[in-house]
Structure 1
Amino acid sequence: MEDQATRLRKLVERKISGGAGGLQKETAQGGTSMPLPGGARVIAVTSGKGGVGKTNLTVNLAIALGKKGKRVIIVDADLGTANVDVLLGTSSRNTLLSLARENVQLEDVLIRGPYGVSYISGGSGMEHAGELTVMQRQMIFSKLSACDEWADIILVDTGAGVGRNVLDFIMASDEVLLVITPEPTALTDGYAVLKSYRQLEATQPIRLVVNRVYDMVESTETASKLICTAERFLHMELKSLGFVFDDASMMKAVRRQVPLLAAYPDSLAAKCVEALANSLLSGRPQRVKLGWQGFLRKFFHNMH
């Protein structure tokens, strides 16, 4: 019997040719674009526990990728606690679950938000997604498949933890970003995600993003702990994509309901996110120019 992830993978592979009607579509930047023949790159952004900054990273990463000319759609799949529209300071009438209704199409739920971010809201009530009938789920998956034609990159913001819904989205993606922090609980819960991932015999590449680090040394040490543990006990090769500095600008941006890259584009954390976007596109290691702020940060830290 097929599970949700299996059906979704088959739908994505099949490519729905008539769903978009062959018409030009308005982009978040106001221009027009035609469907992509090759399909989008689907990246699941997940975490072992809540509160590590997963959704914040997803939104700002979408902005950074958009600045580099990529068409990005965020699918807010954090069931029950969707926060993408909260971080953007917007609201949405239709959500992902609205696609279960016959009269609702993808263009009705795909929101052209501010800062060039296009997204599909998870909204409230997503915790009832498990109550959908098989036909309703197939209808949602079928309509969502059209996203593959209108984006270069689709970021799927999953829920935290190892619930079945989270694992379904992870298994259906092309690659996975696992967001952790230096906190011991974040590392433990991150390992739980890797263990479940391994038990499902997943083959998608999974990379770490270490959020809220003080410096690159802390990032390297934190990532190494999880990488070594995964290799020793799970016989699993794990790599690090990079890190994001712990920056007061991030919390200020959240309170303003304005993404970091829009509110404080010159902050250290914003530079880290842009470097992560470069790494995703180029495959090269993350390189962050710390500048004067970085100099001051290290100088005063060394005085203690």
Structure 2
Amino acid sequence: MTKPSLTLYLAAPRGFCAGVDRAIKIVELAIEKWGAPVYVRHEIVHNKFVVDSLRDKGAVFVEELDDCPDDRPVIFSAHGVPKAVPAEAAKREMVYVDATCPLVSKVHIEAERHFEAGLQMVMIGHAGHPETIGTMGQLPVGEVLLVETPGDVAGLSVRDPEKLAFITQTTLSVDDTVDVIAALRARFPNIIGPHKEDICYATTNRQAAVKAISSHIDALLVIGAPNSSNSKRLVEVGSANGCAYSQLVQRATEIDWRALAGIQSVGITAGASAPELLVNEVIDAFKARYDVTVELVETAQENVEFKVPRILREPA
């Protein structure tokens, strides 16, 4: 029986970003240097496949520092942690390595600088996301106010409308954030913004690549975890740009084939914490069912690389 024809539009860039790459490397090097187990506070990156493979190598994932023994190294996830966490680790004389993405650390430094200048911060971000918790935890309680939508801006109660600055989570939708910033500037004309936007290059690039393929496709599959902010944003970008069906899948086994019945073109991308191996698995699943043509749509090239912390570059 002949297979139906299907074109797969492969978005590029997709998958791992430099911050994720560095965070995974940090865990692997820590296990190499100190042996297993090495403790990791929170999932190092939001991807079950990555977390499971590091667990197999000797990483133990915990939610809080209280769950770690004093005598084993602990790593803080790529999303960043409140200041109280490394302070507590230092008090307990623990060996700790901070795997916070340098682009998230940049936002932390920015918030600190504004605070020292006497400004109150408004953070655009998702409540409860580890990155938001980590960034808000850089400053004393009440110094960072969280907004998620333009509607939230109307309800803000600020100390002094003339002494405000805003920062954003690095994995937001570029388009949605524009609307929130516009609402902030309309209500607080003197609010200070970042010199260069806080949304990271990888988030921006992956969203632009989805926009570029969305006019060609009947459906979009985003490979990523349900708790991955940047992956969920890619699904939303696909829908907002006219893609009738956008689905988030962790891997090929989750594809809803019935929803794809009768279609002729599918876009594929992957969130910043999803390995390329899972992309290939999805492509192979399509090849088993369809006569597939693969088209690469590349909108940018990435060559960013972040060094691992010095403690892991030194011998044990």
Mark yes or no: TM-score above 0.5. Answer: no
Q: Tell me which structure has the larger Cα radius of gyration.
A: 2
Q: TM-score, normalised by structure 1?
A: 0.30
Q: TM-score, normalised by structure 2?
A: 0.29
